[in-house]
A and B are shown apart, each in its own frame.
Chain A
Amino acid sequence: MKLDRRAFLASALVPLLSPGASLGAATPRRGGVLVVAADTEPRNLNPALVASNGVFFVASKVVEPLAEMAYTDAGLEPRLALSWEGSRDGRSVTFRLRPGVRFHDGTPFTSADVAYCALELWKKHQNLGRAFFKDLEAVDTPDPHTAVLRFSEPTPAQLVANALPPLTAVVPRRLFEGTDPLANPHNQKLVGTGPFRFVEHKPGQYYRLERNPDYWGAPLPWLDGIVYRVLPDRGAIAAALESGEIHLAAFSAVPLADMKRLASVPGIAVIAEGYEGITYQITVEINHRRKELADVRVRRAIAHAIDRDFVVRTIFLGWAKPATGPVPRFDKAFYTDDVPSYPFDPARAEALLDAAGYPRKADGVRFAVELMPAPWFEQTRQMGEYLRQALRTIGIEARLVLKDPAGHQKAVYTDHAFDLAIGSPVYRNDPAISTTILYESGLPAGVPFSNQYGYANPEMDRVIRAAARALDPEERAALYRRFQRLAMEDLPIVPVCEFTFLTVARTSVRNVASNPRWAVSNWADCWLEA
């Protein structure tokens, strides 16, 4: 979309102007230490135990999953697994593993490691794996390079494949077996198979990784090492980039408002690709326990009050797209735009509110709500400020309530003490991983990023359950299209826009955004110009 224009022009023009130079530029160079900005230091850095982008950003270079996302039709490319195939009955998936791979401690990577991680780490302890692998019964290891995951219930192979990049990082069994995995020192001092080895973490200052000379993907990696400088302050990151102290800042770590200017600084490029596999949305979360908000006409009125184009243009400065439903456009397998839509139309919103029985009172106000923007992103907060004004124009008085992460998590997802909230759910490559949970009913209080809204529709629950068991990809896709339609008819939450992050990098950093999960992938092919 918004590919940095200069970088794009440069790459388009260079071959015409000087073919020789372009050949030289396209040839990766080995060497150099990449310095990037990091804004968090996770207490547990082990991606086999903690599936989160904050962990992956550092750990994915050291510990690899079975497969990674790719800009190909298949959508996936092999990492530790060479191939995978589901059985006809949906009760097993067979993985052929890459031979000749060694962990950084010198021991070979085998099916035993996969079996241990799957049963003892992903299924028992991993934040996302616990729900995803709940039906995983056993892992057979007929030989060192074959692992067969057996499920007690039919599990679509397509779903398993889609979950491979975020959920299946492999650490050595030898270092974890017989210990309390959550207290294992190698949750910080990572050992994996990746292109980079973990060297040290200086808390509050940096992580340092160095090149793994025995990487299975030799001659990769190109870089000699990666340093993550801990820079929790966004303003400090922009300054460090400009002064050349760091090469790269991922995850929109620089304020969006500063991107246009940064893109015009010589030697700096803004790259919008490389995050499609972790597309986020801005949503309005609605508490259905509140009488007014339980009425679908009121929820539709709220949707009609939001000018999505304004949100995209102003809050995101164009680096976002209006959302049509819970699935982002990038997911060709499941996305549909054949759903009810709610164009910006304040007059219609007011008519809906009148019809619902909430006329404007003498002071012009229909009813008042508390609006709680999540503290996760600058944009969730700005969306809160925008929505307050948008609601005011249709006669709903909103008061902003801000909480810090713990307070927000408790108020919205445990205590249900909110009326409206601004959320930012992430779509992880398949609706079943972290999206349908936002619509499914019957979840206990306290589950973060789930339907704690008090919304329950038996038909919705039926579709979600059926899709999670449907083995045929066509049938699954059809069910998920139905899911999207239901989501937009009932409108339990209002999807506003979908957005991906931006990477800001010195132009000397090459092969940025080489896959749809680039920031959280292994960077083996990334290199630095001399």
Chain B
Amino acid sequence: MSEAVFRFAREPAACAGLVLLFLLLALALSAPLLWPLDPEAPSPAILLPPFVEAAHPLGTDRLGRDLLARLLAGARTSLLVAAAATAAALLAGGAIGLLAGFSGGFVDELAMRLAEAFQVVPGFLLALALVSVAGPGLGSTVAAIAAASWPAPARLLRAEVLKLRRADFVLAAIAAGLSRPEVALKEVLPNALPPVLPLAALLAAAAILVEAALAFLGLGDPNRPSWGAMIAEGRAVLVSAPWLALLPGAALVLSVLAVNLVGEGLAEALAPRRAAA
């Protein structure tokens, strides 16, 4: 493991991604302290351009709300949804994959057909339908993204189980009298980590984009600012106030980029290596 950390640290791009991600997280978390303006409070100063008034350094939107405060609040939404949706997809998909891999037979068959059914339906369409049905909100967004993305971790973990269950250390563990769930948690899971971590980064990046796209179509949580919704609002004044759509767009690109860089670094660092030349 420490070797992997070392390899990760040697990749400048991966480190840059990690720093960027931490920066975004820090900004999102400390937003109420850093810039305590209410991101939802309207004011008569509408469509103020950036760098004009100190009270609103990045300007204001259509209803006179502070853009900086909204961008920071949007970061919270984005990262929160990404983390929660990824965790949910990994947990649900991972559990189903482990179950399918260890049980085999009918359970395996059912789980795999279910996964396939979810994969032959356009994921974004599925998320869209789920959010429309459940009503826009943080919970429904997370659930919809997880529902559209659980098959990938499920397949991955199932494949790992199939691969590892004949491995010596697993056989030894079973011989030692460990139960299946114990084997799954103590032996298989830690060994499945190398392919799972990069997948998690991939899922998180996709989750950020899907959350934004849903909010762009008006299906975001109405009680918290979202970059996607801000772009949709900014689009109405794209020519006269382009910063309203461009800034949240740039924020989105940066966040997804950061997650992607970290993911790529992880994949690189954790890739199985053949004997060094």
Identify the A interface with B (CB < 8 A): 234-235, 238, 255-258, 260-261, 310, 313-315, 373, 375, 378, 381-382, 384-386, 388-389, 399-404, 407
- Contact between A314 and B237, CB atoms less than 8 A apart: no
State the Cβ distance, B223 to closest chain A Cβ, in Å. Answer: 5
- Contact between A389 and B42, CB atoms less than 8 A apart: yes
Is B55 on the interface with A (CB-CB < 8 A)? no
By size class, the interface of chain B is: 20 to 34
- Contact between A235 and B40, CB atoms less than 8 A apart: no
Most buried by A among B40, B42, B63, B218: B42
The residue from A257, A258, A401 contacting B222, defined by CB atoms under 8 A apart: A401
A234: nearest residue on chain B (CB-CB)? B236
Contacts of A389 in B (CB 8 A): 38, 40-42
Interface string of B56-84 (1 = CB under 8 A from A): 00000011100000000000000000000
- Contact between A314 and B240, CB atoms less than 8 A apart: no
Contacts of A258 in B (CB 8 A): 236-240
Contacts of B119 in A (CB 8 A): none
- Contact between B132 and A404, CB atoms less than 8 A apart: yes
Q: How far is the CA of A401 from the CA of B63 in the complex (A)?
A: 19
Is B47 on the interface with A (CB-CB < 8 A)? yes
Given A314-B44, A389-B42, also A261-B222 (CB < 8 A): no
Contacts of B63 in A (CB 8 A): 314-315, 382, 385-386
- Contact between B46 and A384, CB atoms less than 8 A apart: no
B136: nearest residue on chain A (CB-CB)? A402
Contacts of B41 in A (CB 8 A): 389
Interface string of B237-264 (1 = CB under 8 A from A): 1111000000000000000000000000
Q: How far is the CA of A338 from the CA of B181 in the complex (A)?
A: 76
Identify the B interface with A (CB < 8 A): 38, 40-42, 44, 46-47, 62-64, 132, 135-136, 218, 222-223, 235-240
Contacts of A260 in B (CB 8 A): 240
Q: How far is the CA of A382 from the CA of B42 in the complex (A)?
A: 10
Q: How far is the CA of A234 from the CA of B236 in the complex (A)?
A: 8
Given A313-B44, A314-B42, also A384-B222 (CB < 8 A): yes
- Contact between B238 and A235, CB atoms less than 8 A apart: yes
The residue from B42, B44, B235, B240 contacting A386, defined by CB atoms under 8 A apart: B42
Q: How far is the CA of A353 from the CA of B202 in the complex (A)?
A: 51
B236: nearest residue on chain A (CB-CB)? A255
Q: How far is the CA of A402 from the CA of B220 in the complex (A)?
A: 9
Q: How far is the CA of A238 from the CA of B62 in the complex (A)?
A: 17
Given A385-B63, A400-B223, also A257-B236 (CB < 8 A): yes
Contacts of A261 in B (CB 8 A): 237, 239-240
Given A314-B42, A385-B63, A388-B40, also A257-B132 (CB < 8 A): no
B40: nearest residue on chain A (CB-CB)? A389
- Contact between B236 and A235, CB atoms less than 8 A apart: yes
Q: How far is the CA of A234 from the CA of B40 in the complex (A)?
A: 24
B237: nearest residue on chain A (CB-CB)? A257
- Contact between B235 and A235, CB atoms less than 8 A apart: yes
The residue from B40, B64, B135, B240 contacting A403, defined by CB atoms under 8 A apart: B135
A388: nearest residue on chain B (CB-CB)? B40
- Contact between A257 and B42, CB atoms less than 8 A apart: no
State the Cβ distance, B34 to closest chain A Cβ, in Å. Answer: 22
B43: nearest residue on chain A (CB-CB)? A314
A264: nearest residue on chain B (CB-CB)? B240
Contacts of B136 in A (CB 8 A): 402
Contacts of B132 in A (CB 8 A): 404, 407
Contacts of A378 in B (CB 8 A): 236
12 sampled A-B residue pairs with Cβ under 8 A: A234-B236, A310-B42, A314-B63, A375-B218, A378-B236, A382-B63, A385-B40, A385-B63, A400-B222, A401-B222, A402-B222, A407-B132
Q: How far is the CA of A256 from the CA of B21 in the complex (A)?
A: 37
Q: How far is the CA of A246 from the CA of B239 in the complex (A)?
A: 18
Closest 9 CB pairs of A and B: A255-B236, A400-B222, A261-B240, A257-B237, A402-B222, A257-B236, A235-B235, A402-B136, A257-B62
